[in-house]
Amino acid sequence: MKQYFHAFGMCQSMFCAIPSPWQGWDEEARDKMLLFLPLVGLELGFFWAMLSWAVRLLELPRLMGAMALCAYPYLSTGFLHLDGFMDVTDAVKSCRDLQRRREILKDSHVGSFAVIGCVLLILAQLTVAASLPQRGSGALLVLLPVVSRCCSALAVTALPAMSTSQYAAQAKPKSRLLWLAGLLLAALAAGFLTGLRTGLALIGCVTGYGLALRRGYRSLDGMNGDIAGYALTLGELCGLTVYAVMG
């Protein structure tokens, strides 16, 4: 039980920029971290919904409020997933051979494809945030990070990892897949219970995540954290887009 507690603290401090009292590291608990990624998503989603509520309470101009909602997912994760999005975009769009694509993925320099992709991503996120209804999106903002992180944890656990990935040597028992799949189904069910629009938006997130994952995984012939961040970023954008379009 102690290792699971440590795994949660490690997961929160690694994948979330919100200050945490946990400062330690237990190597034996490392392979259990992904079990708590959806819970970290719930924490992030709660504060995202609170930010949306504060924007309405303060009656901020539409574009200012949209900017706050657009920036939150990046700021609250320390730009971790955005970094993965940029790395994978650079590698995939290079259209080089597999070895060179993997080298580009690990290159610390920022390429033109990453910059262009990041600009388009933020413009899309800002536009969608500005298109969200003033009220009623709280449940979506709470559940969206949960669903996207369930997808990430499932993908990293189920798919073969690249040899250079930190997940390559970790144990991946099937019981964890069942746990994560159960959490995903529970989050989707909660979305539909709060409204058809929210439920369909969460399905849009899963679909967007799956398509982005397929693109990154097949192009790089293996799974790693960068691909998970790439797919998570695009999946959440797809979920928000479905919700805004259904308005």
CA distances from 2 to 28, 33, 179 (A): 11, 13, 19
CA distance linking residue 145 with residue 148, whole number of Å = 5
Instruction: Tell me what pLDDT residue 149 has.
Output: 97
118's tokens: 């990041």
CA distance linking residue 34 with residue 54, whole number of Å = 31
For the beta carbon of residue 95, count every other beta carbon within 10 angstroms: 10
Instruction: Tell me what pLDDT residue 168 has.
Output: 66
Tell me the β-bridge partners of 62: none
DSSP state of 110: P
- Torsions phi, psi of 128, nearest 5? -65, -40
48's tokens: 């995202």
pLDDT along the chain (247 residues), means of 10: 81 87 74 91 97 94 96 96 96 92 90 95 97 90 98 94 76 83 97 96 98 96 95 98 92
Q: Locate tokens 């507690």: which residue?
A: 5
Contact between 44 and 35 (Cβ < 8 Å): no
Instruction: Tell me what pLDDT residue 22 has.
Output: 67
Contact between 92 and 215 (Cβ < 8 Å): yes
CA distance linking residue 190 with residue 194, whole number of Å = 6
